[in-house]
Structure 1
Amino acid sequence: MTKGVTTLTFHGGPNDGEVIEDVPGIRVFPLVSRPTGSGFAEVDGKVGVFTNAATLPTNWFTFKTAHYAKRGAEPDGPGVHYDFLEVVFVSRCRAVTQKNGLCKLIARPNQAL
């Protein structure tokens, strides 16, 4: 393995068993959020569901993300290991911009959408 990079391994949750190789060490954090690729979008004033999306559609208003916490050092294997904590729904700010588009910010917790 190249110097300065590591492998991330996820345990539990929707990303169980997933391995990401060649991650720069500077990008290893104590908590990691992994989008699940599913959520809700608005189409012509109606709610639609999206699944297995590689990127968020422009009309999303809620998506699901999995949170993982970094384990302590693993004596039996290389790399960094993360354990599943919870699945969280992330809601989008519902404001309309001056150009009549949707706000791209995440809604603040406990605020009316």
Structure 2
Amino acid sequence: MAEPLEVNLDIVPTSRFQIIDVSPRVRAQVGDALSDYRRVLYCSHHTTAGYLEQGMCAKLGHSRNQLDPFFRFLQRLFPQNAGYQHDLMHLREELSEQQKEVEPVNADSHLTF
């Protein structure tokens, strides 16, 4: 049985919505060290990044021609700037006044993932 392996990636998107294949970045960092693992857990600590489950990607053919319409559907389902309570900074008691000034309006991203 393979020992647990942790890989950390710093990813900075260049746009509000971006599909990023993390596989090449992982391989660049650890080579084929993950080949011994049947399952991998991805997480993003308090960001609105999301990971598509492998089965979903397979159903969509790992194709931008299929992924783009899927995400456009989600963007219609959860439109940006739709007045979500999460985006009403003056109601957010868990944030300091300084945090409220820089907190992005991004409830739609949370709902998507």
Please give the TM-score of this superposition, normalised by the length of structure 1: 0.24
Please give the TM-score of this superposition, normalised by the length of structure 2: 0.24
Q: Which has the higher strand share?
A: 1
Q: Which has the higher helix share?
A: 2
